[in-house]
Amino acid sequence: MIIVTGAAGFIGSCLVRRLNEAGYTDILVVDDFSRPDKQRNLEGKKIRGEVHRDNFARWLERHHTDVDAIFHIGARTDTTEMDTAIFDNLNLEYSKALWMLCSGFQIPFFYASSAATYGLGEKGYSDDHTIIPDLKPLNPYGQSKQDFDVWVLQTVDGGRSTVDGGRWTVDGGAAPPVWAGFKFFNVYGPNEYHKGRMASVIFHTARQIKATGGMKLFRSHRPDFKDGEQSRDFIYVKDVIDVLLFFLEKRPPNAIYNLGTGKARTFLDLATGTFRAMDLEPKITFIDTPADIRDTYQYFTEADMRKLRDLAGYREPFYGLEAGIDDYVKRYLKEELIW
């Protein structure tokens, strides 16, 4: 049996779909299941059953011999939430508990981290384990992901890793037999209809175009970036879950990995691509970045993807931004379909 936490959410539900396509149907889905708008994401998917996230640890203690692997995708992901206690509970302590259970029961464990851990990018965007403890996230969400990454490294190896001939290795420690953390960069794609303000800019662009005929992007508040040239590493969710499936089946070396495309693109590129996918000429204007996120707004992210390619051996190409937008808009957003 494969477990997916956060299974009614965006990435989790796409992972369940991809597992089904690969022939996996013995899947237990874990979430809080309290929102009808998220329940739609599980429609048509083949699963064994559901367990509420609050009951999952107890369920795992009783049924661990049936479990082949856990994908821990569930988390509180609101970057505007400032209550650290919420993140300490749902993102940090909950993840620690699952890690320790998987360590004790020897269950493979794959978990979602975030590029929000990189903050303003003062230390670059390398997933080298020696750099991770020094990262400085900009908000409580990013800090919760950072705290768990650091705890993992301290647990398995005292926070140390070594590089030998361009290959990263991690030694020993209290850990699941197989594990990996993934620093998701800016993921977009189907099944994010419930995310509201936290949905991708592609989603909001398509909605604004339908409603008004145009798109408003955030104005730059830094002199070194022109309006619309703020840049992120945008990755299509289908690429993300293909990597997760690869780790399930191929079991690359245990480590924390970046998961982006390795190429930053501007928000102007993204908005223009969305207009093109909708067969419209771009009509883009700019508004001030909201005050509540202005001081913690990332102007640039770009994943260093050498570890995934060189250590894990993942060779498949990723969608280019325009190709990913075209697939998302035409196959899903146009009729607001789920995947």
Taking the C-alpha atoms of residue 268 and residue 279, their distance in angstroms, rounded to an integer, is 17
Known catalytic residue: 299? no
Q: Exactly one of 111, 118, 125, 141 is catalytic; which is it?
A: 141
Q: 281: how many CB neighbours lie within 10 A of its CB?
A: 7
Q: Exactly one of 195, 216, 263, 283 is catalytic; which is it?
A: 195
Spatial CA neighbour of 298 closest among 327, 260, 243, 328: 260
Known catalytic residue: 314? no
Active site residues: 141, 195
